[in-house]
A and B are shown apart, each in its own frame.
Chain A
Amino acid sequence: MDTDTAPKFSVSEFLEVCNQTLEYSFSSVIIEGEVSSFKINQGKWVFFDLKDDNSSVSCFIPLFQLRTPIEDGMKILVRGTPKVTPWGRFSFTVRQIMPVGEGNIKKSFELLKKKLAKEGLFDPLKKRSIPDNLTKIGVISSTGAAGYADFCKIINARWGGLEIQVCHTQVQGMIAPEQIIRALKYLNERTEVQIIAIIRGGGSADDLACFNDELLTREIAASRIPVITGIGHEVDESLADLAADICASTPSNCAEMLSKDRRLELKNISDTIKHLKTALYQQIDTENSKLAHHITSINSTFRKQIDLYNYQTNEKIRAFRQKIDEQIHQTSSKLESNIKIIESFNPDLVLSR
């Protein structure tokens, strides 16, 4: 043994070398298997076995890193690193978990939905609407994906003048949630976009499972900037959709919701120009009518004044004539009386008597 060239270690050194070798060879691996013996210790540590028909591996993950609810019998994917514990036990330290298969995804979705709903993450009263005068949009999507192409095609056809900042991320698989979270943080902290659109075209339940990640759902609910999702097809529902302020049914629908229709707007502008002429003519007609009314009113007042003046003048003339007639009459009477008196003194008449 003394002359043996084989490396010699203490137990601790040996386990350390084993772990270094494991980390070098399998720094990040994904294993698919079925959950069994799931348990949470001291409210902090999660232990479970991942097994298939012939083998089983012990898994460990801190509770705070468990972003998807799991239970015994569920088929899942785990990402992590293998390790030998100081007690010489082989264990797999899990960093990420994703359920596999429609039934398991649905079960996990319902468990997490219930938990997050209880915390108020999907509260309809907290939902914000699409901002008015939208000019700056942030988009999180895979720029090579069909859903992103649909979004761009529709929004470019419908409207112009928008500034769209795109964060290219994975939108499928275990690494997608972390990338989307980073993009959400980036857009919230480093840009002035008014709304963030998370875009992903249709796919299987496995393809869309990343949008049921707990941390991603929380990040969407906590976003300072309103979030709209356009994920999958109309029938698909993810926790990301529930946490978002607005949920469009598809990427194309999302583009429609974020943009006006320029053809409709052009028609509106043409109609506005026509209506403006009509409005102006109507106002001129109204002003003309007012003027005509004023003129009629002035004529009427003036006519009344003339009539009054005529009447007063005629009255004065009549009174004056009456007075003259009376004076003439008085003078005539007086004259007749005087004539009679003078005649009574006529010498011929006196002599004849």
Chain B
Amino acid sequence: MAENKSINQKITELDTAVNWFYSDDFSLDQAAEKYKSTIKLAKDIQKDLETLKNKIEVIDKDFSKD
């Protein structure tokens, strides 16, 4: 599923994950796991940003006719 997320969705997810570390919900028990998954997400986004290209498709339709 994670592969289907857009960069923007991943960035939003990263913001939420980072905010957890500053929030009252923070707990040491979960911190190590959360830290690992957040860093992985950040690295994924970095990779996406460096490699993803836009897909430009010219629609096959003649707009000079109805």
Contact = CB atoms under 8 A, between A and B. Distances in A.
Interface of A: 132-135, 143, 152, 155-156, 159-170, 175, 179-180, 182-183, 186, 262, 265-266, 269-270, 272-273, 275-276, 279-280, 283-284, 287
A148 to B, nearest CB: 10
Majority-rule SS of B interface residues: helix
Interface string B48-65: 111111111111010110
A167 B6 CA distance: 24
Interface in B17-49: 18, 21-22, 26, 28, 31, 35, 38-39, 42, 45-46, 48-49
Contacts of A273: 39, 42
Interface of B: 6-9, 11-12, 14, 18, 21-22, 26, 28, 31, 35, 38-39, 42, 45-46, 48-59, 61, 63-64, 66
Contacts of B26: 283
A181 B15 CA distance: 40
Most chain B CB atoms below 10 A, which of A159, A169, A272: A272
Contacts of A163: 54-55, 57
A280 B35 contact: yes
A276 B54 contact: no
Contact of B57 (A133, A164, A170): A164
A279 B49 contact: no
Contact of B21 (A152, A155, A280): A280
14 contacts: A132-B8, A143-B58, A155-B54, A156-B54, A160-B49, A167-B59, A169-B64, A186-B59, A186-B61, A269-B49, A272-B18, A280-B31, A283-B28, A287-B28
